[in-house]
């Protein structure tokens, strides 16, 4: 039987990841189906009751992939409970009667990139450590470029010439990731996209007074847009400048080096690290307040302990600094309309606040 590999959905990062896996394993890759309401339903049905939402989405992705013929599943890990997902998901899927091999990248309590090499070697005998790390670096570079493009879009969306053009150019960038591979191609791809984007924006001072909103919270809700009902796209479509710190570049690279900086920033409120992204969120909230942002949206799945710990601190910041923060919690109930209404109301409120401040 031919090996077919699958992995859980994680925002738009499935583009570089599927190229990476193809290069490493040299077999078929089953790209997880786009996350939908149905994914959540299947996942929630087979999950423990009050486990956090990413678990349910991941499990739904796995079941959908297994149904379309995958027989090797890959799960990463790290941070809070995420590191323990793999083992429980494997047990649940085995009990459901599927036949598959599970590659869990957790080793001794932390995410290990080297363990993945050892696992991949079992399936692709020709793989050697140099080519493996070459592919890792190229993929990281791809991801880094993607994040740069994303940040550019969030910053400049209010200047775009026709509605939605930047998001369309972003999509074409992803298609080119699949076609061309390597450092040089990545670099070319990045500059092509950036050039196209620059041609389609016009820095107009009348747009400078648009709202600025910062998105904080748990990483999966932020990165996997479907899990947070496309809040970010909704804001971008309304030409609101969005700041989002959490992306894969931040989680894999930047986060390791800036704990001290964050602690210095948040020293009035936090003494110790809160676990996972708690401290980051508090420090980033303070940072955007200093920069004069209009509002903050904090998102988390239900029962996400690190973010729940950050909530009382953010509430205190909201009171002290007089800035509106909208707290959103997502669970397996699919309620797109309700969330949109709340976002609309929040934006209206921010606009009114801004007008009031102007008039005074």
Partner 1 sequence: MIVGIPRALYYHSYSYLWKTFFDNLKVEYIISPKTNKDILKKGKILSTDETCLPAKIYLGHIDYLKDKCDYVLVPRYLGVDKINLSCIKFNSMYDIVKNTFKNIKTIDYNIDYIKGCKIKNEFIKMGKKLGFKSNVASEAFDKSYKEFNNYRMHEFELQESKVVNSELKKVLILSHSYNIEDEMIGKKISNILISNDIEVILSSKFISNEDKSTNISKTLYWDSSRQILNSLEYYKNRVDGIILLTSFPCGNDCLVNELIIRKLKNYKIVNIVIDEVNASAGLVTRLESFIDIINGITI
To partner 1, the closest distance from the beta carbon of 291 in angstroms equals 23
Give the bridge partners for 326, in sequence order: 297
Nearest 10 degrees: Cα torsion 238, 240, 245, 247 = 20
Q: Is 31 in the site for partner 1 (CB under 8 A)?
A: no
The residue range among 160-168, 265-273, 289-297, 335-343 that interacts with partner 1, by the rule CB under 8 A, is: 265-273
CA–CA separation, 16 vs 322, rounded Å? 41
3-state secondary structure (DSSP) of residue 49:
coil
The residue range among 107-115, 163-171, 234-242, 243-251 that interacts with partner 1, by the rule CB under 8 A, is: 107-115
First to last CA, the chain: 73
Q: Of all helices (H) and strands (E), which one includes residue 356? A: helix 336-359
- Whether residue 315 contacts residue 234, with contact meaning beta carbons closer than 8 Å, is answered with no
Tell which positions 32-91 bind partner 1, by CB under 8 A. Answer: 48-52, 55, 77, 80-81, 83-88, 91
Residues whose CB falls within 8 Å of the CB of residue 337, separated by 6 or more in sequence, listed in order: none
Member of 36, 45, 69, 109 binding partner 1 (CB under 8 A): 109
Q: Is 258 in the site for partner 1 (CB under 8 A)?
A: no
Q: Is 148 in the site for partner 1 (CB under 8 A)?
A: no
Residue with tokens 């790209």: 31
Q: Of all helices (H) and strands (E), which one includes residue 132? A: helix 129-156
Binding mask 199-228 for partner 1 (x = CB under 8 A): ------------------------------
Q: Is 329 in the site for partner 1 (CB under 8 A)?
A: yes
To partner 1, the closest distance from the beta carbon of 14 in angstroms equals 24
Determine the longest span between alpha carbons in the chain, in angstroms.
Answer: 73
The residue range among 228-236, 238-246, 301-309, 340-348 that interacts with partner 1, by the rule CB under 8 A, is: 301-309
Residues whose CB falls within 8 Å of the CB of residue 97, separated by 6 or more in sequence, listed in order: none
Q: Which is nearer to partner 1, 91 or 253 (CB)?
A: 91
Q: Is 97 in the site for partner 1 (CB under 8 A)?
A: no
Q: Which is nearer to partner 1, 259 or 348 (CB)?
A: 259
Instruction: Classify residue 66 as left (phi > 0), alpha (psi -120 to 50) or beta.
Output: alpha
Q: Is 156 in the site for partner 1 (CB under 8 A)?
A: no
| Contact set with partner 1 (CB under 8 A) | 48-52, 55, 77, 80-81, 83-88, 91-92, 95, 104, 106-110, 269-276, 278, 302-306, 308-313, 315-316, 329
């Amino acid at each position: 039987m031919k090996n077919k590999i699958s992995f859980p959905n994680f925002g738009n990062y499935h583009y570089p990841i599927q190229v990476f896996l193809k290069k490493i394993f040299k077999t078929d890759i089953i790209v997880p189906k786009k996350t939908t309401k149905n994914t959540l339903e299947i996942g929630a049905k087979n999950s423990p009751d009050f486990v956090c939402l990413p678990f349910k989405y991941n499990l739904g992705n796995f079941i959908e992939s297994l149904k379309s013929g995958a027989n090797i599943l890959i799960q990463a890990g790290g941070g809070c409970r995420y590191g323990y997902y793999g083992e429980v998901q494997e047990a649940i899927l085995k009990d459901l009667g599927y036949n598959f091999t599970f590659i869990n990248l957790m080793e001794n309590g932390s995410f290990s990139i080297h363990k993945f090499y050892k696992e991949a070697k079992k399936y692709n005998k020709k793989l050697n450590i140099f080519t493996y790390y070459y592919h890792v670096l190229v993929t990281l570079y791809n991801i880094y470029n993607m994040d740069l493009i994303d940040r550019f879009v969030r910053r400049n969306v209010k200047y775009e010439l026709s509605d939605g053009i930047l998001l369309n150019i972003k999509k074409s960038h992803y298609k080119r990731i699949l076609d061309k591979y390597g450092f040089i191609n990545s670099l070319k791809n990045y500059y092509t996209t950036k050039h196209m984007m620059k041609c389609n924006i016009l820095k107009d001072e009348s747009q400078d007074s648009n709202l600025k909103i910062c998105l904080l919270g748990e990483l999966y809700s932020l990165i996997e847009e479907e899990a947070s009902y496309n809040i970010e796209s909704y804001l971008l479509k309304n030409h609101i400048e969005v700041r989002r710190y959490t992306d894969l570049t931040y989680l894999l690279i930047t986060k390791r080096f800036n704990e001290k900086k964050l602690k210095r920033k948040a020293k009035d409120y936090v003494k110790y690290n809160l676990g996972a992204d708690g401290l980051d969120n508090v420090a980033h909230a303070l940072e955007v307040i200093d920069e004069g942002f209009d509002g903050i949206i904090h998102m988390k799945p239900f029962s996400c302990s690190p973010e729940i710990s950050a909530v009382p601190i953010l509430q205190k910041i909201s009171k002290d600094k007089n800035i509106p923060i909208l707290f959103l919690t997502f669970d397996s109930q699919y309620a797109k309309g309700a969330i949109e209404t709340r976002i609309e109301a929040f934006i209206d409120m921010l606009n009114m606040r801004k007008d009031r401040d102007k008039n005074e």
